[in-house]
Amino acid sequence: MFSKILIANRGEIALRVIRACKELGVQSVAVHSTADANAMHVRMADEAICIGPPASAASYLSFPAIISACTITGAEAVHPGYGFLAENAEFAQILEDHGITFIGPSAEHVRMMGDKITAKKTMLELGVPCVPGHEGGVDSANEAAAVAAEIGFPVIVKATGGGGGRGMRIAHSPEQIDSAYSTARSEALAAFGNDEVYIEKYIERPRHVEVQIIGDGKGKAVHLGERDCSLQRRHQKILEEAPGPSITPEMREDIGSRCAAAAAGIGYSGAGTIEFVFSDGEFYFIEMNTRLQVEHPVTEAVFSVDIVREQIRVAAGLPLSFSQSDLAIRGHAIEVRINAESLPDFRPCPGRVTAFHAPGGPGIRMDTPIYMGYEIPPWYDSMIGKVIVHASDRNSALAKLSQALDELIIDGIDHTVPLFQELVTNPDIKSGSYDVTWLERWLLGRFQ
């Protein structure tokens, strides 16, 4: 086991990793920008080191700053959390070159799954169902039109190296393909420095379902069921639950075993999530996230496992602490992401938290870096916490979530708690009959 781990992140995920380190008896090192000098993860870690000014490019995204912090503190491994450098193959490789363990998959696997075309080809070869589409990148508007006509409209143009909803455009007809192609390329270049795009069939109004896997890097892997992440705004998840309300045990076993076999087949190490669109009882692979997900707590709740602890163990060369036969779903869990944003326009709302009270009670968990007096900086993502509930069934979990949201107090800033207080009483949410387009359609009707 490692003696010291540096967490190359901030906010609630840095706190989450620090807690796992403490339980394993491992020293933790927090890094921070000057804007985060008073952040909770800085207070809770065993050591803390400033790595630069507020701008992410000069601090949390700076390879030299993080490598130097490892050297100064003697950290043997780096946990990247999610976001920032969590899926950066170059960063993983540089750590390896410096003799520092990256707590995650190999640079090769990060690179493989970061390229959407390569990822899709790999998954097809490993028996994972994929969305119908073109085999490779599309190099011109004329080729895009020909490929789209062959696949059949509607189609979606997607960035090869994309994610988070950027570099994606839908074309419902031949007249829209030129604009979709050029816009997706320019957005991909600006966001990812790579303007290559590919084209797939657009599955209208699907659910977004993802399968959590963990591999030991030595040819063994398990799946921990699925999460439904269909409640989204602008391709960003805001509510996640496990198990998926539309997934039968037979579907779960089939897709889960395929995903675990695929991870084992490539010798995958650590946690990863294989994401699908789900429609009419069929799964279609869209991408693999080679990192811990924001929504991992709902899986931890229903399987009674610690995914972060398992990441650290596997990276240290230890075997998985459970087998597939040890894993069984118990109850239902739901997570909502609380953002410092004003409604109805979802404008980021940094500022000072003047009062804070976290909800409590059996089956209620809140992961957050905020405290009374905390100044939320304007430099980073607006998510300020996650409320996670676990109960015996979905209806009970929704009732518990409603209770937790009513108990939660965050004063001094605008936030999205009122949105969730309204959503948990909506008939479609209560019945589970929603898809990835539902929230934006509801918001349009609600706030227009």
Q: Which residues face 6 on adjacent strands? A: 29, 78
Instruction: With beta carbons less than 8 A apart as the criterion, state whether 145 and 182 touch.
Output: no
Kindly report whether the peptide bond that precedes residue 297 is cis, defined as omega within 30 degrees of 0: no
Instruction: With beta carbons less than 8 A apart as the criterion, state whether 37 and 51 touch.
Output: no
Q: Which helix (H) or strand (E) holds 300?
A: helix 296-303
99 burial via Cβ count (<10 Å: 0-12, 13-18, 19+)? exposed
Helix residue ranges per DSSP H, 350-437: 394-407, 417-423, 427-431
DSSP one-letter code for 266: T
Indicate the residue type of 250: E
25 burial via Cβ count (<10 Å: 0-12, 13-18, 19+)? exposed
Backbone CA torsion sign across 341, 445, 435, 125: negative
Point out the residues that are catalytic: 291
Coil/strand/helix, residue 83: coil
Alpha carbons 289 and 190: distance in angstroms, whole number: 21
Alpha carbons 436 and 210: distance in angstroms, whole number: 13
Q: Which helix (H) or strand (E) holds 366?
A: strand 364-367
Instruction: With beta carbons less than 8 A apart as the criterion, state whether 132 and 200 touch.
Output: yes
Helix axes 296-303, 307-315, angle to 10 degrees: 100
Helix residue ranges per DSSP H, 45-140: 63-73, 89-97, 107-114, 116-125
Pairing type for strands 101-102 and 77-79 reads parallel
Alpha carbons 287 and 126: distance in angstroms, whole number: 14
277: nearest Cα among 389, 166, 435: 435
Alpha carbons 371 and 358: distance in angstroms, whole number: 9
